[in-house]
Each structure stands twice: as structure tokens, then as C-alpha cells.
Amino acid sequence: MPEVVLEARDLWKDYGNVVALKGVSLKIREGEVKVVFGPSGSGKSTLLRCLAMLTKPTKGEVYLRGECLTAPGVDLNKARTRIGFVFQQILLFHHLTALDNVALGLRVVLKMPKEEARKKAMEALREVRMEKWADYYPAHLSGGQQQRVGIARALAMDPEVILFDEPTSSLDPELTGEVLDTIRQLAKEGRTMLIATHEMLFAREAADEMMFIDNGKILEVGPPEQFFTNPKTERARRFMARLLEKRGR
Amino acid sequence: MQFLLRYLPMFIDGFVMTVILTTVGLSVGFIIGVLAAIGDVYGGKVLSAIINAYVEFFRGSPLVVQLFIFYYSIPTLLNTLIDPFTAGCLVFILNSGAYQKGYIKGAIEAIGVDQMLAARSLGMTKFQAIRHVILPQALRIVIPSWTNEFCSLTKSTSVAIVITIRELTTVGYIVSAQTFRPMEVYAFVGLIYFLWIYAVVKMMDMLYKRVRIPGFIAEE
């Protein structure tokens, strides 16, 4: 079996009196594509943010290739360079061109010389087919183009795993397609990825495994076909029915 | 109006002093404003409380009182003397720093926590994120407020007359007393202030348009 890249053990997270995660455990192995889905407010974003250590879990551990990130004294900045993150709200740096958005982390964090960083950033933009828009500012790109730059920004750092937090939820259906194509391409290349999404048809073909999360707990895990043909839990079955009904209309 | 020409060297000296006081106050105040804003937004509760105590003192008391405190009270307390120029510079720096802190803090908060989050997700330290992501954006959108502070401080330096600094207004007062022609003198003084401020404001507007972040300000 391939090596485990990222692992969560019994993660809990509460925001004051709202408990967003109630003991979530999961493993993502080298080259695996996992999809996590579930209703709004079920804890998907919180889970992804905890895995990237962008917020601290209240309890439980996160391991990156066996190294415990939740232990005291760990260099989290270094760990975050190894975990790519793509945001639902995209969050490009407004004041930088597409190219500089991708190059900034390379220069500032990985201390690459300027020219080398630009070259590497250009390669990443090529990978998401955005090289023609390298000199455009985010405000002058469509939402789908912006998100592809967001993906390139994560890719350029050569992360060992990429976490996608509903990467197409802020896009209309037409723009959603181009972003999903990009992610599909990455899946084919064997990238290790965890994707929170409601795009079930995409999940069906791209995911090795799907996880259904509700109310801060993973209720069901299995291959995509299981969710499409015969979900084991009633809650997942009802949610799938809703999603597919919406698509069918 | 001929008599004004005779006093022109004095007016020029006064104007230069006004520009010096404003420039020192704005530039050093800017450094204080940036540091105080960062400390308030990203520092702990204690640091934030100290910064706000400083800001509220300088925003909440009259400039004249501040000048008297720095020129008379503090030196008396320390049993020493201070020259008017040094006292004036200190007050304008600290006063402007307090106001600029407010403007810059507002700009940092307008940029938002999400930009910070995106920067941190790439592995940047908080400091790197502030330096490369937050400040480059905040300092662009703060330019109009900063221009306002320039206008305000330029005129505020005229209060330095109360501690005998010979800036433009003080010179006007002296010339008016010597010539008994307050009408022309103060009109002239006012005109100099107006032209200077107008020229700088126009320049700042140009700068603002040049460095604006696409999408942040309406574009024609």
C-alpha cells in the first residue's frame, strides 16, 4: 500500500459553543484522490483547515508523513508549504498579477531567486492553461480563471498533498467546468488530493474514495459507486437523492 | 501690496519651517502609525491597550495643550529645558502618528483576514504576510486618508505659534504687527497655505491613481 501522506486522528474542533468537528479520523495515501461531501455547515471547511493547520484543532492529532503537526514546537510554516490549499473564495492577492500571485510564495517562502521563481510560476500557470493571462490582475480575470490561478499558486510550491475547499462553489456552471477539468488533469497525473465538493458527477469519475460528513462526523466512507447505487446510511442516501435530483432538473 | 515683497525672505523662511514641521510629523508619524496599526491588529491585548492609550491621548486633547505639555510641563518635571523646534517636532510626530494609526488600521482591516489566511496557507510567517500581502495593499488604499492627514497637519502646524516657532503663521503675525496691515498679510499667508496644499493634494491624487489595485477603485 502507498505511504500515508496526511492523516487525522480523532479531530475535534469547537468554536465557542458550536462544535464543528466531533472526532474525525482519515488517511490520505500517496496518489489518492478523496472527496469529502456533506451539507453546508457539516464541517468540511473546518476539517480541511484543521488538516492544513490553518486553524488549530481543539483535540486530536494531524500527521504529515508521520510527523505530528499538532505537537508543540512544530514549525507549522514549513509544514504548510508542503500542504497546498485552494479556497472556496479563491483569495488571490489583489495587488499582484497572476504570475506574481504564483511566484510570491516561491520567492518569499522558498527564497527562490526572482528569475527562477518567475520561470517556475510560469510552468505552474501553463499546467492550468493560464500562461496567456500571466500579466493580468485578478480583477480582470473571470472567476474560473481566478480559481485556476489559485490552483497554480498551490501547485507551484510542489505540495505533497493539495486540499480543495469547495473550489467551484463560488462559480457558475460554465466556469465550474474549466476548473473541474483542471483538477481532473491533476488527478490523472497522480497528485494526492482531498477535495470538498458537491459536484457528484466529477466525484464519481475522479475520486478513489468518498466520505460523507454530517454534523461534524464522517458517517460513511466508500468507493463512489457505493454512494450512487446503494448508500449504507439513511442520511447519506437522502442527501445523495437531493443532490442528484437537483442535477437532473 | 508692494510692502509684502520686502518681507518675502521672512515669509519664505516661515513657509520652509511649516513644510519642515509637516514633513517631519508626517514621515516619522507614518512609521509610528504603521507600527502602531500592526501592533493593534496583530499584537496581543496588552500591546493593543498601550497603543490605544497613546492614540486616545493625542486624539483626545487639544494640540495647543500638547505643545504646552511638551514645551513647558515635561521639561519642568525633568528639570531641564527644551528648544521650541524639538518640542514642536515631537508633538507633531506623535499627534500625526496617532491619527495615521487609525487610518492605516482601517485599511488593514479592509484588506481582511482572508488575504492573511491565503498568505499563511503558502507557508508565510505572519511577518512575511504583513510585509508582502497586507501592507502593499493597505498602504495603497490608505492614500486618500493620508492626503487628508497631510492637509490637516499642514494647517495644524500653525498652532506652533504658541511656543514661538517661526513658521508661516507666526511670520504673518510678526509682519502684521510691524506693518499694521493684517488684511493683506493674512490673505497672503492663507493663499500660500492654500496653493501648497492644493498642489500636494493633486500630486497625491495622481499617485493614488497610478498605484491603485485593479478592481478596488472604480475604473473609467
Domain segments of chain A as ranges: 6-82+161-248, 92-158
pLDDT over threshold 60, residue B220:
no
Give the pLDDT confidence score for residue B211 in this predicted structure.
92
pLDDT digits (tens, 9 = 90+) for B61-105: 999 999 999 999 999 999 999 999 999 999 999 999 999 999 999
Pairing of strands A161-165, A193-196: parallel
Asked, for residue B216, whether it belongs to a domain, the answer is no
**In the numeric block, which cell numbers belong to residue B129?**
504576510
Percentage of the residues of chain A whose pLDDT score is greater than 90: 87
Pairing of strands A209-214, A33-37: parallel
Please, are residues B66 and B95 in contact by the beta-carbon 8 Å criterion? Answer: yes
Which distant-in-sequence residues (6+ apart) come within 8 Å of B53 by Cβ?
Answer: none
Closest alpha carbon to B118 in A88, A34, A41: A88
Q: Contacts of residue A137 in chain B, CB cutoff 8 Å?
A: 213-215
Provide the pLDDT confidence category of residue A195 given band limits of 50, 70 and 90. Answer: very high
Q: Contacts of residue A82 in chain B, CB cutoff 8 Å?
A: 123
Question: Which residue of chain A comes nearest to B137, CA vs CA?
Answer: A95
Question: Which residue of chain B comes nearest to A97, CA vs CA?
Answer: B214
3-class state of residue B213 by DSSP: coil
Which distant-in-sequence residues (6+ apart) come within 8 Å of B72 by Cβ?
Answer: none
Task: State which residues form the domain around B182.
Answer: 2-211
Closest alpha carbon to A152 in A113, A74, A99: A99
Asked, for residue B62, whether it belongs to a domain, the answer is yes
Contact B124 A137 (CB under 8 A): no
**In the numeric block, which cell numbers belong to residue B117?**
489566511
- Interchain contact B134–A (C-beta under 8 A): no
Contact A153 B122 (CB under 8 A): yes
- Provide the ipTM: 0.93
Provide the pLDDT confidence category of residue A174 given band limits of 50, 70 and 90. Answer: confident
> CB-side exposure of B189: number of CA atoms within 13 Å?
25
Query: What's the rounded Cα separation, in Å, for the pair A110 and A102?
Result: 12
Query: What order do you get walking across the sheet with A59-64 strand by strand?
Result: A18-29, A4-15, A59-64, A67-68
Residue A245 Cα distances to A174, A214, A224, A238, B151, angstroms: 19, 19, 17, 11, 62
Task: State mean pLDDT over B23-51.
Answer: 97
Percentage of the residues of chain B whose pLDDT score is greater than 90: 93
Q: Contacts of residue B122 in chain A, CB cutoff 8 Å?
A: 80-81, 104-105, 109, 153-154, 157
Asked, for residue B181, whether it belongs to a domain, the answer is yes
Among the partner-chain residues A85, A94, A109, the one whose CB lies closest to the CB of B124 is A109
- Interchain contact A114–B (C-beta under 8 A): no
Q: Which fold has domain A6-82+161-248?
A: Rossmann fold (3.40.50)
Provide the pLDDT confidence category of residue A249 given band limits of 50, 70 and 90. Answer: very low
Which distant-in-sequence residues (6+ apart) come within 8 Å of A153 by Cβ?
Answer: A92, A101, A102, A105, A124, B122
Distance to chain A for B112, nearest Cα, Å: 10
Asked, for residue B33, whether it belongs to a domain, the answer is yes
Number of domains in chain B: 1
Question: Which residue of chain B comes nearest to A80, CA vs CA?
Answer: B123
Question: Which residue of chain B comes nearest to A105, CA vs CA?
Answer: B122
What CATH number does the domain containing B113 carry?
Answer: 1.10.3720.10
Average pLDDT over chain B, rounded to an integer: 95
Task: State mean pLDDT over B112-125.
Answer: 96
Asked, for residue B128, whether it belongs to a domain, the answer is yes
Q: Contacts of residue A117 in chain B, CB cutoff 8 Å?
A: none
Taking only residues 166 to 225 of chain A, the set having a beta carbon closer than 8 angstroms to any beta carbon of chain B reads none
Query: What's the rounded Cα separation, in Å, for the pair A163 and A154?
Result: 9
Question: Which residue of chain B comes nearest to A103, CA vs CA?
Answer: B122
